[in-house]
């Protein structure tokens, strides 16, 4: 069987360093807020290209804490509006409503599955305080239109980088070779603050939950760090009604082993995506397109997910399953149709709904071998609706 994602095989690549790093923590006798967390924070901040990184318990907390920090510093207040793509994973929206802020759902671009930048301005009001920009499926969502709106309306730009660790955004379209081009920035360093997830299935995955906030804003970094530690900077002195959200030492040590190989893993994902792009020829299956030139789109995407659209999605999924290919749906129910957000049930978002009805994620991971990708292509091309 070809698994959608073989996390065990992915982690075996890092042995024996992975087990050695866990043993190092066990032997140290120090399990929270120690050296591993401190070093990982430095290494990840350097990788992303920000001054600060704060390790937290998971990606949802990273986003919750950023917004909470803006509320504590009175940059935002309850009821203010945050722009967010309507087809995102629910966590981006939960982080907003958890802070009693109001999500304003924006349709995605059907070609990239990312927020459609040209649908944003008409939804901006005097209460709009930020944009939650989600780099969905691993593709950079930043766009010059978003940069323009952030400046024009003085908005905070919060990146949800849960799925796109390692992706780039070109500040100026590249001319010549990539190596000598110095104006690329990583997602997670493009806005005011970013939330990252190290859930085990992510491109940079821990062996349990983990997350981080990255930012260049000194004040925000300090408030997030304090909030994540019960609202306390000095033990037993509480400035805020905070929470307990920490990246533990074992996860930090594991991530330190995996981070140096992230670019190579992402490159392998790009090769597989390119192979799918070049060889899937079934007219009933729509491949993920990019609005960018091949050169730019290549580094802008880390292919956390390789999504296709198919009008006969459930038949396609069953056909692939019969032939031993595991696929998943990201995501079967859009946020505005979730029980948790009943108040939105009558909203119509046709692009989002089409995506949720037709999308299917093919197997992709750095440990897939060429025979497996060839088999996926062969079977997909033989599917008839």
Of 268, 331, 315, residue with least CA distance to 10: 268
**For binding to ligand PLP (CB under 6 A), which residues are involved?**
58-60, 88-89, 91-92, 134, 160, 162-163, 197, 199, 209, 211
Question: Is residue 207 within 8 Å of 200, Cβ to Cβ?
Answer: yes
- Measured from the CB atom, is 59 or 242 closer to ligand PLP? 59
Give SS3 for 6.
coil
Q: CB 146 → ligand PLP: shortest distance, Å? A: 17
Q: CB 59 → ligand PLP: shortest distance, Å? A: 2
- Measured from the CB atom, is 92 or 297 closer to ligand PLP? 92
Give SS3 for 121.
helix
183 phi, psi to nearest 5 deg: -105, 30
HEC secondary structure over 42-53: HHHHHHHCCCEE
Q: CB 6 → ligand PLP: shortest distance, Å? A: 19
- Cis peptide bond prior to 301, omega within 30° of 0: no
Question: Is residue 369 within 8 Å of 6, Cβ to Cβ?
Answer: no
DSSP state of 137: G
109 phi, psi to nearest 5 deg: -85, 125
- Measured from the CB atom, is 48 or 380 closer to ligand PLP? 48
Name residues whose C-beta falls within 8 Å of residue 153's C-beta, 6 or more positions apart in sequence. 124, 128
Of 356, 350, 364, 282, residue with least CA distance to 314: 356
- Give me the sign of the Cα torsion angle 212, 217, 218, 223: negative
- Measured from the CB atom, is 91 or 255 closer to ligand PLP? 91
Q: Which residue is nearest to ligand PLP (CB)?
A: 59
- Measured from the CB atom, is 84 or 220 closer to ligand PLP? 84
Q: Both tokens of residue 241?
A: 């009604």
Q: CB 134 → ligand PLP: shortest distance, Å? A: 5
Q: CB 307 → ligand PLP: shortest distance, Å? A: 13
Longest dimension (CA), the chain: 65
Question: Is residue 146 within 8 Å of 152, Cβ to Cβ?
Answer: no
- Measured from the CB atom, is 60 or 364 closer to ligand PLP? 60
- Measured from the CB atom, is 49 or 200 closer to ligand PLP? 200
Q: CB 118 → ligand PLP: shortest distance, Å? A: 22
Q: CB 95 → ligand PLP: shortest distance, Å? A: 8
Q: CB 91 → ligand PLP: shortest distance, Å? A: 3
Q: Both tokens of residue 234?
A: 């000095």
- Measured from the CB atom, is 195 or 380 closer to ligand PLP? 195
């Amino acid at each position: 069987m070809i698994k959608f994602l073989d996390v065990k095989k992915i982690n075996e690549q890092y042995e024996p360093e992975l087990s050695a790093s866990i043993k190092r923590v066990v032997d140290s006798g120090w399990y929270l807020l120690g050296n591993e967390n401190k070093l990982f924070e430095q290494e990840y901040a350097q990788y992303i290209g920000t001054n600060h990184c704060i390790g937290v318990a998971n990606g949802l907390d990273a986003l919750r804490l950023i917004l909470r920090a803006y509320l504590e510093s009175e940059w935002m207040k309850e009821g203010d509006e945050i722009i967010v793509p309507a087809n995102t994973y629910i966590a981006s929206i939960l982080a907003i409503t958890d802070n009693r802020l109001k999500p304003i759902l924006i349709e995605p671009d059907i070609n990239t599955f990312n927020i459609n930048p040209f649908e944003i301005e008409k939804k901006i009001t005097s209460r709009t305080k930020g944009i939650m920009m989600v780099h969905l499926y691993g593709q950079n969502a930043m766009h010059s239109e978003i940069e323009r709106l952030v400046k024009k309306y003085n908005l905070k730009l919060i990146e949800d980088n849960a799925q796109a660790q390692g992706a780039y955004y070109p500040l100026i379209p590249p001319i010549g070779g990539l190596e000598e081009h110095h104006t690329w920035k990583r997602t997670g360093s493009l806005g005011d603050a970013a939330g990252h997830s190290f859930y085990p299935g992510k491109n940079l995955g821990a062996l349990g939950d983990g997350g981080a906030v990255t930012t260049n804003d000194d004040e925000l970094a300090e408030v997030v760090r304090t909030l994540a530690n019960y609202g306390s900077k000095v033990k037993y002195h509480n400035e805020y009604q905070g929470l307990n959200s920490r990246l533990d030492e074992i996860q930090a040590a594991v991530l330190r082993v995996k981070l140096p190989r992230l670019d190579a893993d992402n490159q392998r994902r790009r090769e597989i995506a390119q192979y799918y792009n070049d060889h899937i020829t079934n007219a009933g299956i729509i491949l993920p397109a990019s609005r960018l030139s091949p050169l730019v789109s290549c580094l802008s995407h880390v292919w956390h997910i390789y999504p296709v659209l198919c009008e006969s999605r459930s038949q396609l999924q069953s056909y692939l399953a019969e032939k031993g290919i595991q696929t998943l749906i990201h995501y079967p129910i859009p946020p505005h149709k979730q029980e948790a957000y009943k108040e939105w049930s009558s909203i119509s978002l046709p692009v989002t709904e089409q995506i949720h009805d037709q999308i299917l994620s093919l197997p992709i991971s750095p440990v897939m071998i060429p025979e497996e990708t060839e088999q996926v292509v062969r079977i997909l091309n033989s599917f008839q609706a």
